[in-house]
Chain A
Amino acid sequence: MRIQTPNGFKLDNSGKRIVVDPVTRIEGHMRLEVNVDANNVIRNAVSTGTMWRGIEVILKDRDPRDAWAFTERICGVCTGTHALTSVRAVENALGITIPENANSIRNLMQLALQVHDHVVHFYHLHALDWVDVVSALSADPRATSTLAQSISNWPLSSPGYFKDLQTRLKKFVESGQLGPFKNGYWGSKAYKLPPEANLMAVAHYLEALDFQKEIVKIHTIFGGKNPHPNWLVGGVPCPINVDGTGAVGAINMERLNLISSIIDRLIEFNEQVYLPDVAAIGSFYKDWLYGGGLSGKSVLTYGDVPEHANDYASKNLKLPRGAIINGNLSEVFPVDHANTDEIQEFVVHSWYKYPDETKGLHPWDGVTEPNYVLGPNAKGTKTAIEQLDEGGKYSWIKAPRWRGHAMEVGPLARWVVGYAQNKAEFKDPVDKFLKDLDLPLSALFSTLGRTAARALESVWAGRQMRYFQDKLVANIKAGDSSTANVDKWKPEGWPKEAKGFGFTEAPRGALAHWIKIKETKIDNYQCVVPTTWNGSPRDPKGNIGAFEASLIDTPMMNPEQPLEILRTIHSFDPCLACSTHVMSPDGRELASVKVR
């Protein structure tokens, strides 16, 4: 069947169906089904996933001041960003303001998460879609050194360094297990880097693995504890005592200096390693500009990183806020989380039940009632699906829409909006990156563009951290050591009923929580997470979501090795059920999240 979606994609599901279920035998995690034509070009895409669901069930009747501790557990990677979103939602509902220092510290924690997530995502998940690890074994260490020194001043670049690294890597490969590199499509012609570039990237994979631990220390210091930092409605839980010498939990000059030195190092890593690597890898993939999907049409960003505390208006947010639709970059629309006509979730193709499924529901009125039924053309059984029917219900992900439009969220969305708003700090780095690679602006709307936006954002976030660290220290030195406002901590003064929302830009995109409070307890709580936007199924009008759109028209080298699909889906940094990780004895993951 051939159809044209309202959001401008031609779909044809008549060709061969390929099911990519990378964790096979496992029900629950993300899965993609595509149809390819006779030339192995993707002509239809169906994305399905298990999201955690029903946080409202757990949170109902609990204390709103504890909600962050629960939402922090939703996911092991988005920990801090969920907690921040949650405390903002409660503060918004109850009209609680926070001190300037708390705003700076929250920004530092959020930006540290951005950098950590972007670096780890690129090197430890995504790079292997571009880099052939096995090919690195045949690289000439001297030529690798020349290459590395031609793109950056990073000191770890001698022939001896790469030779040692290669020896270590050989040992790993010869030990019979490839360690973290097992299961790649090594040797595929879809890999285009010369062996030297592959070896350089593998070296940086290891350096990033080592370095990411340093970034985490920022969360430990400000959050009081790790791996689950503390958060606080009304501010941050860490007291500041600059004259103190190691009082438990308090921030003193020694700790501030440690944070400062970590920031210096992450700025250096971003600028000397991460961004040059992305540019170098990109230069070999300039003819692989697939995967743009919705990015050139409809993108959404809530904005984040407030300059001043308690002002969430667009012009006070350092990460851009706004919506672009139908590819018209000359108009950026305002976004209002409280307007019930704007953000709505639909379930006509999701395994939930609404009273009227032609309509969407705003999250304040959100309903999460499961309804697991397969469409009439699905193959297999409910417990062992062979092929989904996208004409019926086919995903546990709801379909959020902004004024009815399917939107892409994430670093590329943020950078496209910043670019469209003509903000130099977003526009100039994009123009420079493209110019260096001799690519037109249209190249930004691609898998490579998404990957580049994340690297550019990591650089941006590092510099913002320097800014907020300096601002924090200056403010403390000026005599303000306040980190929390406890005026409305006690529920006695709260209104009988209140509702609010909190939003952040999580590393992978726009995140918001909506809360209703009744008699000082949580009455309803809904989260719309970035992967709900990007991984959404079709809506009642037939618009496809960002993952689905990104795969359309991509040619596959070999459908048996769906490297192109993984490359593009990985570029979104998807967040899935985010939690189950039960191991089987042979190390395969049995994420048996059975969904009903």
Chain B
Amino acid sequence: MPTSSTDRILVLGIGNILWADEGFGVRAAEEFHRRYVVSDNVTILDGGTQGLYLVSYLEEADRLIVFDAIDYGLEPGELKLVRDEEVPRFTGAKKMSLHQTGFQEVISAADLLGRCPKHLALIGCQPRDLEAWGGPLTKPVSDQIGPAIELVCAILTEWGATASPRSEPLPESEQLLANDIDHQHYEMRMRPV
């Protein structure tokens, strides 16, 4: 795979933090940002469940890494990396609601506009629990945040970008998520159903 240190790279966390393991992607991106300083050509983004709102971020990227909870039917917490053509991008016209827009819709839309990132890497984690409204990440999934971050570091290195551990702790004002929904405060005070 060709590498170039000037390619713009987007590291995107996807999912809903209010639904237990659905929050994996966002939490992994949040933790990666908390622990690492990345080179200028890398952007780390909390994509939430924003669907088509994210198309413009994809367009601006040459290479894309996504963290997400993905149901592969594996053991809870198992990580799986898929790349480029293996990343699903199919969508359907029979949906009931725009709110069913998955991330593959976003990729598919960027593709249709002819501006999909050249290289894609999807770091998926098998969820255990998507039921607990307001619940925390389950342990097997939460335990994979570290390994998922190692994966993203390896991919960034392969792509000629750098990620180095922070020498100073990240100031609170620069956290990816704030207002009590950052991982620590969210789970410290959450009360599952």
Q: Check B112 for interface membership: any CB of A closer than 8 A.
A: yes
**B94 in contact with A596 (CB, 8 Å):** no
Please state if B99 and A69 are interface contacts (CB–CB under 8 Å). Answer: no
Q: Which of A54, A63, A566, A586 contacts B96 (CB 8 A)?
A: A566
Which chain B positions have C-beta within 8 A of A23? 95-96, 100
Residues of A within 8 A of B105 (CB): 180
A58 and B178 form a contact (CB under 8 A): no
Check: A458 CB closer than 8 A to any chain B CB. Answer: no
A354 on interface, CB distance cutoff 8 Å: no
Q: How far is the CA of A576 from the CA of B189 in the complex (A)?
A: 27
Known contacts A57-B134, A206-B113; A22/B95 CB under 8 A: yes
Q: Please report the C-alpha to C-alpha distance between residue A177 and residue B70 in the assembled complex, in whole angstroms.
A: 22
Residue pair B19, A579 in contact (C-beta under 8 Å): yes
A587 to chain B: which residues have CB within 8 Å? 88-91, 104
Q: Does A183 contact B (CB under 8 A)?
A: yes
Proximity bits, B41-56, A CB within 8 Å = 1, else 0: 0000111111111111
- B108 within 8 Å of A by Cβ? yes
- With A182-B91, A183-B94, A228-B46 given, is the CB distance from A58 to B53 under 8 Å? no
Given contacts A180-B108, A590-B71, is CB(A212)–CB(B52) below 8 Å? yes
Q: How far is the CB of B51 from chain A (nearest CB, A)?
A: 5
Contact partner of B98 (CB less than 8 A), chosen from A179, A206, A573, A596, is A573
B81 beta carbon closer than 8 Å to chain A: no
Encode contact with B along A566-596: 1 for CB under 8 Å, 0 otherwise: 1001100111111111111111011111111
Q: Are B100 and A589 in contact (CB under 8 A)?
A: yes
Q: Which residues of chain A have C-beta atoms less than 8 A from B93's C-beta?
A: 128, 180-184
Residue of A nearest to B18 (CB): A73
Query: Which residue of the partner chain, among A76, A212, A580, A584, contacts B130 with CB atoms under 8 Å?
Result: A580
- Chain A window 146-188, contacts with chain B (Cβ cutoff 8 Å), 1 for yes, 0 for no: 0000000000000000000000000010000101111110000
Shortest CB-to-CB span from B37 to chain A, Å, is: 19
Answer yes or no: A265 CB below 8 A from chain B CBs.
no
Give the residue among A60, A74, A120, A124 with the most B Cβ atoms within 10 A: A124
The answer to whether A75 and B99 have CB atoms under 8 Å apart is yes
Contact code string A124-137 (vs B, CB < 8 Å = 1, else 0): 11001000000000
Known: A75-B49, A180-B108. A29 touches B100 (CB 8 A): yes
Q: Which of A30, A76, A370, A594 contacts B50 (CB 8 A)?
A: A76
State whether A66 and B179 are in contact (beta carbons under 8 Å apart), knowing that A54-B193, A583-B68 are contacts in the complex: yes
Task: Kindly list chain B residues whose C-beta atoms are within 8 Å of the C-beta of A70.
Answer: 18, 180-181
Chain A residues with CB under 8 A of B91 = 179-180, 182, 587
Given A62-B180, A213-B56, A581 and B131 contact (CB-CB distance below 8 Å): no
**A124 & B68 in contact (Cβ 8 Å cutoff):** no
Size range of the interface on B? Answer: 35 or more
B191 within 8 A of A: yes
* A583 adjacent to B133 (CB under 8 Å): no
Please tell me if B31 contacts chain A, counting CB pairs below 8 Å: no
B131–A228 touching, CB < 8 Å: no
* Partner of B180 from A63, A128, A172 at Cβ < 8 Å: A63
Is the CB–CB distance between A54 and B92 below 8 Å? no
Q: Which residue of B lies closest to A177 (CB)?
A: B90
Asked whether B72 lies within 8 Å of A60 as measured between CB atoms, the reply is no
Q: Does A79 contact B (CB under 8 A)?
A: yes
Contact partners of A443 in chain B: CB under 8 A? none
CB of B102 closer than 8 Å to a CB of A: yes
**B144 at interface (Cβ–Cβ under 8 A)?**
no
Inter-chain contact A58/B191, CB cutoff 8 Å: yes
- Verify if A342 is at the interface (C-beta below 8 Å from B): no
A592 CB contacts on chain B under 8 angstroms: 71, 130-131
A210 beta carbon closer than 8 Å to chain B:
yes
Closest beta carbon of chain B to A557's beta carbon, Å:
16
B77 to chain A, nearest CB (A): 15
A336 to chain B, nearest CB (A): 30
A574 proximity list for chain B (CB < 8 A): 96-97, 99
Please, which residue of chain B has its CB at the minimum distance from the CB of A181?
A: B93
Q: How far is the CA of A581 from the CA of B22 in the complex (A)?
A: 8
A582 contacts which of B56, B69, B97 (Cβ < 8 Å)?
B69
Known: A70-B181, A584-B72, A593-B131. A52 touches B18 (CB 8 A): yes
In the bound complex, what is the Cα–Cα distance between A61 and B46 (angstroms)? 26
The answer on a CB contact under 8 Å between B133 and A52 is: yes
Among the interface residues A180, A370, A575, A595, which one has the most CB atoms of the partner chain B within 10 A? A180
A281 to B66, CA, bound (A): 38
Distance in angstroms between the alpha carbons of A184 and B109 in the assembled complex: 17
- Which residues does chain A contribute within 8 Å of B49, judged by CB atoms? 73, 75-76, 578-579, 581
Whole-angstrom CA separation of A227 from B58 in the bound complex: 12
> Could you list 14 examples of A-B contacts with CB < 8 Å?
A66-B181, A69-B179, A70-B180, A120-B98, A182-B91, A209-B112, A209-B113, A227-B45, A566-B94, A569-B96, A578-B99, A582-B68, A585-B88, A592-B130
Q: Which 3 A-B pairs have the closest CB atoms?
A: A76-B49, A69-B179, A587-B88
Other A-B contacts than A120-B52, A585-B88, 14 sampled, CB-CB below 8 A, are A22-B96, A68-B179, A69-B180, A73-B49, A125-B97, A180-B108, A209-B55, A578-B99, A579-B16, A582-B22, A585-B70, A586-B88, A593-B19, A594-B131
